[in-house]
Amino acid sequence: MKRISIIAALAAVISCGAPEEKVLKDTFADKFYIGAAINEAEIRGTDVEGVELLKKHFSSIVAENCMKSEEIHPEENVYNFELADKFVEFGEANDMFIIGHCLIWHSQLAPWFVYDEKGDFVTPEVLKQRMKDHITTIVTRYKGRVDGWDVVNEAIVEDGSYRNSPFYQILGEEFIPLAFQYAHEADPDAELYLNDYGQNVKGRRETYVKIIKDLQARGLRIDGIGMQAHMGMDYPDFGEFEESLLAFAGTGVNVMITEWDMSAIPTVNTGANVADTEEYKKALDPYADGLPAEVSAEWNARMKASMDLFLKHADKITRVTAWGVSDGDSWKNDWPVEGRTDYPLLFDRNLEMKPFLKEY
């Protein structure tokens, strides 16, 4: 259900003659939500300028970190909802489509979740109960308030096999339908999603199509699949990306662009697995003092081509979310190489909109 305001769409029409600055959520109001990952400083309101950009330009938000298990559920009987509550309140106060990220993920996993007191993996029965308690407690708390959940994040690796996560090692493939079942039982009206990076590759494409069809065959709710769309100047191949987009849409679920960014600096890793880091080398950080005009022009052209692809399939895509608001916020400044200066998002370090967006 797209809660995209007709008023916003009208505003876009009425303002078309006015010289005022472009408002992204109005520009794309009849296509898809325009979203951003929101960080702690924005949630707490200490990043005043970031909050202004969020309120002005974005119709959807996703929790960048505050709902990950190590943050929200650090010990078995300890939940930390303070920041997550503020995140949801911010979204409600600004009439945004709110995404909870993420319920089941191998990374940033609170250590207690999958180990027993001896440090061995817990039994399947214990893990099922812990997953159910975790998902039920969090999803119930935000029932009717969080519109959609990244239920399972990054479950499949490049060759299409299951990531050898503790969830997979203990429960096998069943951990995915179980997570969707628990989430749906907690909030029957919430949209439920799979989410992963590198979705352009054939392995992930084929396996996720199988998983979606299996969830559907079981009668479990699955509304969409997230293509994180972490990009660089030399990846992904847009033809492969489009092939995956069409394959996912072919199952009948919505497609979402969930973590869009595009590195303007040398590619070190085409994935997004947090643990895969590399040593700093100056050669990998060529634009620390600013992006050369010719590189900026190439980056904007590639971002325009990417947005044009999303618009070509706006009938299949419900949301385009950037993984942050402005370049200084981006995780790409410190991953996979800590201490680089990247230029991957929709607004620059002066909080100016990137040129490619002004062409729409």
If one asks whether residue 108 binds ligand G3I (CB under 6 A), the answer comes out as yes
The nearer residue to ligand G3I, 223 or 329, going by C-beta atoms, is 329
Among residues 248, 331, 343, 356, the one that binds ligand G3I under rule CB under 6 A:
331
The nearer residue to ligand G3I, 47 or 64, going by C-beta atoms, is 64
Exposure string over 275-289, b if 16+ CB within 10 A, otherwise e: eeeeeeeeebbebee
Could you confirm whether 174 is annotated as catalytic?
A: no
Nearest to 133 by CA among 183, 188, 64, 63: 183
Q: Which residues pair with 97 in a beta bridge?
A: 60
317 close to 255: Cβ distance less than 8 angstroms: yes
Could you confirm whether 70 is annotated as catalytic?
A: no
At 132, list the tokens.
């159910």
If one asks whether residue 65 binds ligand G3I (CB under 6 A), the answer comes out as yes
Determine the size of the site formed for ligand G3I (CB under 6 A).
12
Exposure string over 85-113, b if 16+ CB within 10 A, otherwise e: ebbbebbeeeebbbbbbbbbbbbebbebb
Report CA-CA distances (Å) from 253 to 154, 247, 345: 18, 10, 27
Residue 290: count of CB within 10 angstroms of its CB: 11
What whole-number distance in Å separates Cα of residue 181 and Cα of residue 188? Answer: 10
Among residues 26, 64, 223, 342, the one that binds ligand G3I under rule CB under 6 A:
64
Name the one range near ligand G3I by CB under 6 A: 2-10, 63-71, 198-206, 309-317.
Answer: 63-71
Q: Which residue has the tokens 């490619």?
A: 356
What whole-number distance in Å separates Cα of residue 354 and Cα of residue 303? Answer: 10
Contact map string, positions 255 to 284, toward ligand G3I, x by CB under 6 A: ----x------------x-x----------
HSE value, Cβ hemisphere, 13 Å, CA-based, for 98 = 22
Name the one range near ligand G3I by CB under 6 A: 22-30, 61-69, 87-95, 138-146.
Answer: 61-69
Among residues 75, 154, 173, 279, which one is catalytic? 154
Closest contact distance (angstroms) between CB of 148 and ligand G3I is 15
Name the one range near ligand G3I by CB under 6 A: 64-72, 262-270, 313-321, 341-349.
Answer: 64-72
Contact map string, positions 189 to 208, toward ligand G3I, x by CB under 6 A: --------x-----------
If one asks whether residue 68 binds ligand G3I (CB under 6 A), the answer comes out as yes
Nearest residue to the partner ligand G3I, using Cβ: 331
At 221, list the tokens.
């709710």
What whole-number distance in Å separates Cα of residue 114 and Cα of residue 127? Answer: 6
Among residues 259, 279, 352, 359, which one is catalytic? 259
Catalytic residues: 154, 259
Site of interaction with ligand G3I (CB under 6 A): 64-65, 68, 108, 153, 197, 228, 259, 272, 274, 331, 335
